[in-house]
Amino acid sequence: MDKAKLKHIAIIMDGNGRWAQCRSHERIWGHIRGSKIVSNIVEEADDLGVQALTLYAFSTENWSRPLGEVTVLFKLLKKFLLKERSRILKNNIQFKVMGDTSKLPEKTKSLIKDLEEESNSNTGLKLTFAFGYGGRDEIVQAANNFIKENPGKELTEELLQSYLLMPHLGDVDLMIRTGGDQRISNFLLWQSAYAELYFTETKWPDFTRVEFRKIVEFVSKRERRFGNVCSSDLQTSKLMAVENKEIITNL
């Protein structure tokens, strides 16, 4: 598999708090440092020819964090929008936020709306921030919206997919989680059914373009079978069709 086949990459940017605590700083220091890494990884994804990059910036569960920490995350989002706007537009990136942004300050909401509109027709990397996002919530909302619009009609996988928040992004090919934990924490549950998973011990503020590229190159070499057998086994099984038939008949 060549790396261009990893069309949609999702990242759980974890480990900010522990990164700061290891250095005897407050957890928010880790988020501040972590926010500076985001644009490097966006740039690298763009250079690698990735089509979509979805970043987990704030989960529905993160609402239970101390107010000070939540406020810092809000401010970092605003800072990112102000600082990266021109670069996003210059690099033909299409920017979107998915999730419940209703509790964000009005100014941040309008910055998001403006950048989404300005970058909407861009044809390069699709950069999406999951903010106030939860995978289960997204699936429940999709099902409810479908039922409301199609009373009595049966739901299919394709129809549910079309009611997700960002149907155009398609399935996730690779999900990376930094920070050493090995779980997907309610991120893109539907879209990751066949995603390759990669967990790195590196905490998000230490994550580099070089490590990101190495992961993409490493995972690109994995064979993805999507529930099928590998291609060489398929060839062999065709050659052995007669023998297989005999085995099945005698079962």
- Residue numbers of the site for ligand FPP (CB under 6 A)? 13-18, 27, 31, 34-35, 38, 57-58, 62, 73, 76-77, 80, 179, 204
The least distance separating ligand FPP from the CB of residue 71, rounded to whole angstroms, comes to: 12
Which residue of this chain has its Cβ atom nearest to ligand FPP in the complex? 17
Query: Which of 50/97 has CB closer to ligand FPP?
Result: 97
> Is the CB of residue 31 less than 8 Å from the CB of residue 18?
no
Query: Which of 35/54 has CB closer to ligand FPP?
Result: 35
The C-alpha angle with vertex 184 and arms to 182 and 185, in degrees rounded to 5, equals 110
- The answer to whether residue 14 is catalytic is yes
- The answer to whether residue 244 is catalytic is no
Query: Which of 29/163 has CB closer to ligand FPP?
Result: 29
Query: Which of 82/229 has CB closer to ligand FPP?
Result: 82
The least distance separating ligand FPP from the CB of residue 238, rounded to whole angstroms, comes to: 48
Catalytic residues: 14, 62
